[in-house]
Structure 1
Amino acid sequence: MMMTSRSLAVVLTVATLMAAPDIAAAQPAAPPVAPGTAPASAADATKRAEALVDKAKSLYLEGKYHEAEEALRVAWELNPTFDVAYNLGNTEYQLKKHKEAATYLSFALRHWPLLKGVAKLKPNAEKWLAESRAHVGALKVSVTVAGAEVLVDGKGVGRAPLEGEVFVDPGEHRVEATHLDYEPASQTVGVAKGGTAEVKLAITPVKAAPQASVGVKTEGGANGSFAGAGGPAVAQPLAPVEPPPGKNWVPVIALGAASVVGLGVGIGTTVASNNASGDAHTQSTAIIEAGAQCVRPEASWVGPCEKVRSDASRADTLGNVARVAYIASGVLAIGAVTYALWPKSKRTEPTLVLPVVHSSGAGLAVMGAW
């Protein structure tokens, strides 16, 4: 997990600021974007989160835990890293919100970095988690199909496989698993304070609806009959079936080849984006281990900090290019399949299926006569 130097600095300097909601394996939704504005980049979201953590630090030190909690929850939505979870878990712990404290603190401990500077804070998180855990119950949920949505008491907590336990209030809870291609499954379990309940949900594929049988007229009998449980029947075809008209396969080949090219571009830019992100992470870690930071860097660290920002921006740009390439590849593939399966019209006008890709999305343009 990549961690900014600013948010790490907050953890190191605010050892008393920290406790947690039902996040399990789910990632929080991005904050809404005002109409007419572009969505914030990853770098912008990180900066906003850092500012909110600074604000929460001041509020916490003033004893305004509720206001600090509100700021940290927004910071978590913008930048869900271990240090934000640690601070938020501590704050929830101070508010005696044990379920939320256990959730965020367990996340922080699962993603704790191997850095000497934060090792001394880990016992705090373990102590707060143990105390909060004693007041709530925990559910260990497993589902037979990956990607199924898991709900506890009707509230989504993530998709299978969940990363950790789901912390709940003591008592009975209904756990469900749903998937578009599978029948849903559910189980009601009871869990005691400080206890753990294991829930295993097996979901099965949705069965196709049976097709209505067609009656077949049989030989024999004055009035005739329909085949049933009796002897063999001789089928009487109602009408001859015309063979399907020929199809021009050149567009299918062209669209398929273009789809492969788009996929290759997507993979290449994804690799480049990951490399840039890795460079930014390596440089950021080096700065942190050297005891510096990039919010107000000293003169000797201005260059390295600019390199971190440049690599992060490049990774974001390449990631966007990769997404457009994957979308274009998918659209071209859909165009090829659509053209291949589309029945040819008996009229003389041709049917054209053309991909349309632009900066805000992609689609297909179908032209012809029906």
Structure 2
Amino acid sequence: MEDAMKNLTRYLTGAALCAVCASAPAPAFAQASPAGAEAAEEDEARGDIARATQLYREGNEAFKQKRWSDAELKYLKAWGLVRSFDIAANLGEVQLQLNKPRSAATFLSFALRTAPPSTKPEQLARIRHFLGEAKAQVGTLRVRAMNVAEVEVYLDGERVPEEAARHELYLEPGEHVLLMRHAGYEDAVLRVITGPGLTETIAHRLKPKAEKAPGAAGAPAANDAPPAKLPETTAAPREARSWVPVIALGAASAVGLGLGVGFTVAANAASADGDRQQAMLRQAGGGCVDVPAEYSHLCSGLRDSASRVETRTRTATVAYVAAGALAIGAVTYALWPRERTTTSRGVHASAELSPDRAGIVVRGVW
């Protein structure tokens, strides 16, 4: 870690001073800036380096203690001041620990591309190792235009930085919308589906815009037309099937089955009463013809039991049939192909009992 700190300080100092030199105007083309302005710029660059170095050290301490969230915060603040391969390498490794493989791959690939020649082989091997782990969890995309040198790249509506667009893009597994743009050419909008560990190269030929005749004064030129809008990435959701009828029909079927079982039990009880009364009549010496007066009530009870058995058996049969029909209706509705409709849906089920019939009435629209 100490070697990394030394490399970081040397790398940041050199990068910052080169940036200051590059920003100074050339004396052959512009008036030289005052010496005070150059000194101020150099002091500001050195101040950023000092703050980034301190944040980097604090991030390393959190890293050693496996306080990944604290380390990420320190490294991100340092990255905001100065973009160094050391910061990117440690930040990518921490984000991999925080289950952020896409961002981790972005930082680790930057670190690998920008590592200076003095970087130790074991440090480069470590970066490659963690980059491989990150890429195994995301999709990798390379974008090239076949007929132009550079293109603007948009991914899911957000512009990709030019430096990243020239190398590799890392995507969460799933479907994404890719847009390629270049002045004088029509926008190319492509849908990309990627998965963990997959690498895809898209080489697309852009189509030149059709030349149009000059319009009236003040009319926009052909190349000044507003950029094409990205298509919606999410299709309008289909109307979900209503499960209320299935639940209602299933509940009504269960009620019908319960009624059938109840009437079956009642019919069996009435049949048992009839059998008992018939046995008593046999013991009295006959049937209900010329029966002694003391057994006449048994004949009346026997006829009543027979009537109850018949009524309850018929009612149980109707309930079983209704329960089966309702269950078939619920299954049919659940599996039947449907079309969209704006008709309001509703279902109502009610039991209907009378002296001469029994059943379940279902009314509904679905």
The two structures have a TM-score, normalised by structure 2, of 0.44
Higher helix share: 2
Highest RCO, 1 vs 2 (Cα 8 Å, sep ≥ 6): 1
TM-score normalised by the chain length of structure 1:
0.44
Structure of larger gyration radius = 2
